[in-house]
Structure 1
Amino acid sequence: MKFLIVFVALFAVALAAHADTEIVRSESDVGPESYSYSFETSDGQSAQEQGELENPGSEHEAISVHGSYKYIGDDGQTYEITYVADENGFQPQGSHIPK
């Protein structure tokens, strides 16, 4: 959950830098053991994420997250990152990320 809070806070700061950007679509669904959200902005940014509580009530309880985001870089290229965040840590993938 801390990851989600940090991610959302950092994204809010990034959006604030582009004050003329508008949110054109935003959806969310938060339940007791899962959540999902997605959004799209007028400047081509978008993100979506789903999280689910694994092993609820056990000592191995953890959140498993899958998502992606994309943005247009200063060089005009569109960058897209897909990721998993689970008991193995944050695992991003993208064509521009070294393997």
Structure 2
Amino acid sequence: MFQFICFVALFAFARAAPIDEQLLTTEPVMEMRAPPVDDVPPPVMPEMEVRAPPVGIMEAGLQQSTDGAYNFFYRGEDGSFRQESAVIVNPGSKRQHLKITGSYSYFDANGQEVVVHYNADDRGFVPHGNNISQQISAAAKQNSQLPRVQEQQEPQQPQPQPPVVGGVWI
């Protein structure tokens, strides 16, 4: 208890101490470097990355249902686009889920158009497009077609046994 009181007193004393205004001013900090060595070339500084300006949206749309289904799209000034729609499967059941289909497109750094189509549901995400390897698309599709693992049934409660007296059922 004594240590706690000492700690609280020390903390209160530190909080009550006046603030030195000179400590609050910020001054440029000089970077300390080793003197240059004649046989080591200076480091090469990477060029600054030039970022493209934001792309404006030319058109867009959204429709939503109260049950969770939706449909949206947008198209950018640079020719990029995305569209996606979802419907509810098995509404109101334990197996309720969204079934989503969509696609998107953009132009890569080389000016080539990249187009991806996809499906997604409770079985997984399956993409295919000109920048996705066939092995990935095939594996995703194969995985989505695997048989479902049966949900484990809750074990039934054992039936109560009648009492036994002297080895005889009562």
Does TM, scored on the shorter chain, surpass 0.5?
yes
TM-aligned CA deviation for residue 78 of structure 1: 0.2
1:57 and 2:120 aligned = no
Aligned to 1:37: 72
Provide the alpha-carbon RMSD of the alignment.
Answer: 1.3
Q: Percent identity?
A: 29
Structure 1 CA distance for aligned equivalents of residues 73 and 104 of structure 2: 9
Partner SS for 1:20: coil
Q: Deviations over 1:59-80 (max 9, x none)?
A: 0000100000000001110000
TM-aligned CA deviation for residue 97 of structure 1: 1.3
Q: Deviations over 1:23-71 (max 9, x none)?
A: 0000110112310000000011100000011111100000100000000
Match of 1:93 among 101, 111, 128: 128
Partner SS for 2:79: coil
Q: How does 1:1-99 map to 2 (within 5 A)?
A: 18-33=52-67, 34-99=69-134
What letter corresponds to residue 66 of structure 2 in structure 1?
P
Structure 2 CA distance for aligned equivalents of residues 65 and 45 of structure 1: 20
Instruction: State TM-score, norm by structure 1.
Output: 0.78
Unaligned runs of 5+ in 2: 1-50, 135-170
Higher strand proportion, which one? 1
Aligned to 2:26: none
Structure 2 CA distance for aligned equivalents of residues 84 and 52 of structure 1: 12
Higher RCO (Cα < 8 Å, 6 or more apart) = 1
Select the structure of larger CA radius of gyration.
Answer: 2
Farther-moved stretch of structure 1 (65-74 vs 89-98)? 89-98
Q: How many residues align?
A: 83
Structure 2 CA distance for aligned equivalents of residues 22 and 66 of structure 1: 24
Structure 2 CA distance for aligned equivalents of residues 60 and 19 of structure 1: 44
